Amino acid sequence: MTTPPLNPADDAFAARLRAAGLPEDAFRPVEPRYLEERRGLLQGRAGLVVAPRVTEEVATVIRAANTARVGVVPYGGGTGLVGGQVCADGPAPLVLSLERMGAIRGVWPEENVLVAEAGAVLAEVQAAAEAVDRLFPLSLASEGTARIGGTLATNAGGVNVLRYGNARELCLGIEAVLPDGSVMHGLKRLRKDNTGYDLRGLLVGAEGTLGVITAAALRLFPRPAREGTALMVVASPRAALELLALAGARVGPGLNAFELISGQGMGFLAETGCTARVPFTDLPDWAVLIDLGLGPGDDPEAALADLFEAGAAAGLVSDGVIAHSEAQRAGLWAMREQIPEANKRVGAIGSHDISLPLSAIPDFLVVAGEAVARLGPYRVNAFGHLGDGNLHYNVFPPEGRTKSDFPGAREIVARTVHDIVAGFDGSFSAEHGVGRFKVDDLARYGDPARLAVMRAIKAALDPQGIMNPGAVLG
Amino acid sequence: MTTPPLNPADDAFAARLRAAGLPEDAFRPVEPRYLEERRGLLQGRAGLVVAPRVTEEVATVIRAANTARVGVVPYGGGTGLVGGQVCADGPAPLVLSLERMGAIRGVWPEENVLVAEAGAVLAEVQAAAEAVDRLFPLSLASEGTARIGGTLATNAGGVNVLRYGNARELCLGIEAVLPDGSVMHGLKRLRKDNTGYDLRGLLVGAEGTLGVITAAALRLFPRPAREGTALMVVASPRAALELLALAGARVGPGLNAFELISGQGMGFLAETGCTARVPFTDLPDWAVLIDLGLGPGDDPEAALADLFEAGAAAGLVSDGVIAHSEAQRAGLWAMREQIPEANKRVGAIGSHDISLPLSAIPDFLVVAGEAVARLGPYRVNAFGHLGDGNLHYNVFPPEGRTKSDFPGAREIVARTVHDIVAGFDGSFSAEHGVGRFKVDDLARYGDPARLAVMRAIKAALDPQGIMNPGAVLG
C-alpha cells in the first residue's frame, strides 16, 4: 500500500484546529524540549505543539489531523530511548503533548486499581499508590520524568518485571483516541474480560502508531511487608542463572529482582567518580543483586542468608553482602542504578537492549564477547535484568579513548551484536521498543508473516499513516 | 464491508486439498463428536474434517480454504462453553482438528519454558511440566480434554488466575497459521520482546477468527514447596472481599486461589448426591476457599490460621476449616470442583460468566438477586473466582421443577443479568469468550469504537472471512 504524502502542521492547520473548537490554551510554543532526543541522537521537527486538557480535545486534534492528513507525534515525558517521540523527517508534524492530562482519575485500593491519565508522571502514579498503602511496581531510571502514557505506549520494563510483569501486564484497560479520532472507552477495572480481541494489549507497545492512549486502569499490589537485598559474587553468568533457579525454588514468588552486574560495570563506577561503593576489595567478574519482598511473618535477611549458603554449597556463590538496614539496601541498589550514569560518562559506542532465552545467555556472552573483540579494542559492560533474560549489552572504547575515536563503529557493532542475538533466538529490543532507531532491525530480523500482519493492521486502523509517522514500521 | 458468501467444504474442495499435497491420513470421517456442543446447545455442521500432523499441512489447508473461500472451524478439545468450536449456519465448513499435533516440542526447565503443539491436552502439558519439577498453572475443570490451542484461542482462565494470570499471560510466544495460509513463526522463549505489535496477545483470545495457533511457548513456574488450603465462613460477599485484601497484605504473593462458594451451591451438592462433603453442620450463606503455595521455609497452615484469626478479629470470618493433610486439601477442593457438576444435575436456566470491579460485587449481588427474583421463583448460585472479580452467576428453577418449566426464561434472565453487569462496568464474558452464543452481547455491550477496530482488524487479516465464520463478530 502506498499512501499520499502527509501535509505539514502549518498555520492553516492550526486555524482548522481552532475552528474545530480546540481552545487557545492548548496551543504551546514549539519549544526545543519537544524536539530533542535526550542523548542528542536525533533532532526533531514540529509545525505545531498542542497540549489538550481532556480526551475530547485529543479526539478533536486527531480527527482534524486525519482529515487534513497531518502527522501526529504523541509526546509523553520524552525519555524514550529509541527515538519514538522525535520525528526528524517528512513534513513538519504536530506534536501532541499529554503533559496537561496528568490527573489520577481514581484510586480503588480495595480493588488494587488506579486510573491515571496518560500525562501522569510515573513517580506520581507510584506515589498515589503508596498513599493508599499499595504498590505500583513499574520502576525505571527515568520514573521522575516518564509519563504513564509513554511507558504504556512503549510497554516499558524496568527492574520489577521478573515479579510483576511489564507495562502491558500492569494495565487492565485503556482509553485511547484512534487514528480516525474516535474514542475507545476501555477503562475497565476488570481482571478478566474475554470479550473479543485484546486491543488494550495491541495499543500498549504500539508506540503511538495505532492511536493515542489517553488514560489507563493500572494494577496495584499489596506492598511487600518485609524487603531485603543482597549482592552476591557469582563465578559466571551460568552460575548466576543456576542461582536464579535456586532462588525460584527456595524463595518462591517473593523474588522482586535479579540483576546481573559485571566487573566492568563496577569498574566504570570508580573510573567515572560515581558515588556508589562496591562492597568488595577486589572487583569480581560478575555479581547479582537480589531483591526480595516478603510477607509480614517472613525474614528476608534469613531467606537471603539461606540462599547464599545454598549457592555457596553448590559452588555458585563465592562472596556476598546482605543488607541489614534500609540504608544498606539503598547502597546496594545505588550501585546497580548508577551504572547507566557511569556508562553515560564513559560514553558508549553502542547500547543494545537485548533479550535471550535464559539458557542461551552464557553462550551468547562468550560468542558476542569474542565477536566484539574482533571488531576492535572495546570494553563490554553487559548488565541488567537477568531474571527476565534482558541484558543491556553496551560496548565502550578502551580506557583513555572516546567513542569519537571509532567513527562508524556504532553500526558495525550493533549489526554484529544483533546478528548474534538473532542466532540465539533473542530479541534486538527487550524493553525499549522499536521507535525510529530500530526500524531497520525490525525489517531485518522480524518474521515476515508477523511484519505483514503488522502492516495490515496499521493500514486498516490508520490508512492515512498519520500516527507517529516513521516509527516502528518506518 | 460485505464479503461474498463462503463455499461449502465439499468433495471438490477435498480434491483441491489432495492436489495441494495434504496426505490422505489427514482426512477424518465427519464424526458427531466434531459437531456436538457438549451441553447440546448447538448442532454443528461440517463438509469435511481434517487433522493435519504438522504446521505446514495446516498452512496447506488454510491456503486452499482461502483461495476457495471455504470456512474453517478450528477444533481443539471441544470443551468451549460459548459455541466457538461449533458452526451451525451457512455453507458446511471444514473442521480443522489439531488432535494429531499434540507434541511437546521441548522443555527448558532452567528457563521455565515449555513449547507445546496446539493439540496437546492441557493435563499433558501440566504433566510435562511436573516431570521436570515445574508448574504449568493453567487449571480448568476440563483440563483432561481441553487442548492447549483452544485454551489459548479462548484465553482461558481457571482457578489460578489470581496468582499466575490467564492463558494470555502464560504464553510467551506462538506459532500460527494466518488466514492467508502464511505461517507466523513466533515461538520465542523470551520474557521481554518489544519489537512491534503484540500479535501473540491478539491471536490469543481471538477464538480462531484471525488464524490458527499451531504451537505455543508457555511459561512454567517453580512448584510451590508448601501448599495449604482452608475453607472459611464469611458473613457476606463484602466480608469475603475484605478478607481477600487481608490475605493480600498478610500472605502476599503466595495466594494461589480465592474462591467464593455460596450456601446455595453447597446445598446443591447434597441435593444432587455429589460426593463432596460440606464440613459444616449448618450450611453457611457464604464461604471462601483459600489456597496458598509458599516456599520451603514457610508454614501454610500457620499462615492460614493467622489469616483466620485476623479475619475473625475483624468480624469477617465466623467459622472455618484448615486442611491438615493432602487428603483434607483434596476434600475441600472437591467441594469447589463438584459445584459445576451439581449445577449441571440441577439444570441451570442460565449460566453467566461475568466479571465485575471487585468493589462492585456486593452491590451487584444484591441488585441482580432482586432483579432475578422479580422474574420468577428462581434460585441463584453465584460462585467462582472472587479474587479475579469473576463470578459464575447461575440461575436455576426452584426445587422440584426443571428449566423446561420456564420456557423463554433463559433469554430474559441473561439480558437482565448482563444489563446489570454492564451497569456496574463489568463484563458479560470473563473467561469463556464470545464464541457464537455471545455475539449479540458483544454487539450490544461492546464499545462502538472497539468493535469498529475489531471489525477492521478482522477484515484486514481475513478479508474473505474464512476463519471460524460467525464467531465473535458474527
- What is the Cα–Cα distance from A419 to B370, expressed in whole angstroms? 64
Helix, strand, coil shares, percent, chain A, to 5 = 40, 25, 40
**Using an 8 Å Cβ cutoff, are B126 and B219 in contact?**
no
- Which residue blocks in B322-408 are alpha helix, DSSP H? 326-346, 361-375
Q: Which residue has the higher pLDDT, A233 or A296?
A: A233
CB contact, 8 Å: B429 with chain A? yes
**How much is the average pLDDT of A94-123?**
98
Q: In this predicted structure, what is the pLDDT of residue A253? A: 85
Give the residue from chain B lying closest to A432, CA to CA: B194
Tell me the pLDDT tens digit for each residue of B122-161.
999 999 999 999 999 999 989 999 999 999 999 999 989 9
- What is the Cα–Cα distance from A448 to A462, expressed in whole angstroms? 21
- What is the Cα–Cα distance from A121 to A129, expressed in whole angstroms? 13
Tell me the pLDDT tens digit for each residue of B416-428.
999 999 999 999 9
**How much is the average pLDDT of B211-217?**
98
Kindly state the percentage of chain A with pLDDT values over 90: 95
Are residues A434 and B356, on separate chains, in Cβ contact within 8 Å? no
**Torsion angle (degrees, nearest 10) of CA A144, A146, A151, A157:** -50
Domain A104-222 belongs to what topology?
A: 3.30.465
What is the nearest CA distance from B15 to chain A, expressed in angstroms? 27
Are residues A197 and B447, on separate chains, in Cβ contact within 8 Å? no
Q: Does A360 have pLDDT greater than 50?
A: yes
CA B308 to chain centre: 31
Q: How do B94-97 and B48-50 pair as beta strands? A: parallel
Break chain A into its structural domains and give their ranges: 104-222, 226-423
The dihedral built from the CA positions of residue B398, B403, B407 and B408, taken in this order, carries a sign that is positive
User: Which of A82, A182, A194 best probes binding to B when mutated, by most B CB atoms within 10 angstroms?
Assistant: A194
CB contact, 8 Å: A252 with chain B? yes
Q: Does A4 have pLDDT greater than 80?
A: no
Residues contacting B296, CB < 8 A, separation 6+: A249, A250, B225, B226
Kindly state the percentage of chain B with pLDDT values over 90: 95
**How much is the average pLDDT of B393-402?**
97
Q: In this predicted structure, what is the pLDDT of residue A1? A: 47
Structure letter (DSSP) for residue B233: E
- What is the Cα–Cα distance from A242 to B110, expressed in whole angstroms? 8
Q: In this predicted structure, what is the pLDDT of residue B296? A: 85
Q: Where residue B2 falls among pLDDT bands split at 50, 70, 90? A: low
Q: In this predicted structure, what is the pLDDT of residue B429? A: 98
Are residues B191 and A388, on separate chains, in Cβ contact within 8 Å? yes
Tell me the pLDDT tens digit for each residue of A27-46.
999 999 999 998 889 999 99
Q: Do domains A104-222 and A226-423 have the same CATH topology?
A: no
Tell me the pLDDT tens digit for each residue of A275-327.
999 999 899 999 999 999 998 888 999 999 999 999 999 999 999 999 999 99
Domain B226-423 belongs to what topology?
A: Alpha-Beta Plaits (3.30.70)
3-state secondary structure A290-309: EEEEECCCCCHHHHHHHHHH
Q: Where residue B290 falls among pLDDT bands split at 50, 70, 90? A: very high
Comparing CB atoms, the residue among A196, A297, A298 nearest residue B454 is: A196
- Tally of residues, chain A: 474
- What is the Cα–Cα distance from B462 to A137, expressed in whole angstroms? 38
What is the nearest CA distance from A298 to chain B, expressed in angstroms? 8
| Other C-beta atoms lying within 10 Å of the C-beta of residue A46 | 24
| Other C-beta atoms lying within 10 Å of the C-beta of residue B132 | 14
- What is the Cα–Cα distance from B467 to B208, expressed in whole angstroms? 6
Amino acid at the residue A21:
G
Q: Where residue A269 falls among pLDDT bands split at 50, 70, 90? A: very high
- Which residue blocks in A230-273 are alpha helix, DSSP H? 237-251, 263-271
CB contact, 8 Å: A463 with chain B? no
Q: Does B453 have pLDDT greater than 50?
A: yes
Please, what's the b/e burial string for B449-462 (b: 16 or more CB within 10 A of its CB; e: otherwise)?
Answer: bbbbbbebbbbbbb
Helix, strand, coil shares, percent, chain B, to 5 = 40, 20, 40
Q: Residue B200, by phi and psi: left (phi above 0), alpha (psi -120 to 50) or beta?
A: alpha
Are residues A454 and B426, on separate chains, in Cβ contact within 8 Å? no
Which contiguous run of DSSP H or E holds residue A126? helix A122-131
User: Which of B56, B160, B197 best probes binding to A when mutated, by most A CB atoms within 10 angstroms?
Assistant: B197
Mean residue pLDDT of chain B comes to 96
Which contiguous run of DSSP H or E holds residue B258? strand B255-262
Q: In what order do the strands lie in the sheet with B94-97?
A: B27-28, B48-50, B94-97, B72-75
Are residues A194 and B205, on separate chains, in Cβ contact within 8 Å? yes
Structure letter (DSSP) for residue B441: H
Are residues B434 and A196, on separate chains, in Cβ contact within 8 Å? yes
**Using an 8 Å Cβ cutoff, are A390 and A364 in contact?**
no
Tell me the pLDDT tens digit for each residue of B162-171.
999 999 999 9
Comparing CB atoms, the residue among A188, A427, A438 nearest residue B425 is: A188
Residues of chain B positioned with their CB less than 8 A from the CB of A199:
450, 453-454
Tell me the backbone φ, ψ of residue B209, rounded to 5 degrees. -90, -10
Place of cell 488450603: B229
Q: In this predicted structure, what is the pLDDT of residue B276? A: 94
Mean residue pLDDT of chain A comes to 96
Q: How do A212-219 and A171-177 pair as beta strands? A: antiparallel
CA A21 → CA A10, A67, B304, distances in Å?
A: 17, 15, 59
Q: In this predicted structure, what is the pLDDT of residue A296? A: 85
Kindly state the percentage of chain B with pLDDT values over 70: 100
For the record, the C-alpha cell of A223 comes out as 506492598
**Using an 8 Å Cβ cutoff, are A247 and A308 in contact?**
no
Q: Residues 262..301 of B with a Cβ closer than 8 Å to A: which?
A: 293-298
Number of H-type helices and E-type strands within chain B: 14, 18
Residues of chain B positioned with their CB less than 8 A from the CB of A438:
195
User: Which of A55, A174, A197, A356 best probes binding to B when mutated, by most B CB atoms within 10 angstroms?
Assistant: A197
The dihedral built from the CA positions of residue A319, A323, A329 and A331, taken in this order, carries a sign that is negative
Q: Where residue B1 falls among pLDDT bands split at 50, 70, 90? A: very low
Residue (of A244, A228, A232) closest to A386 by Cα position: A244
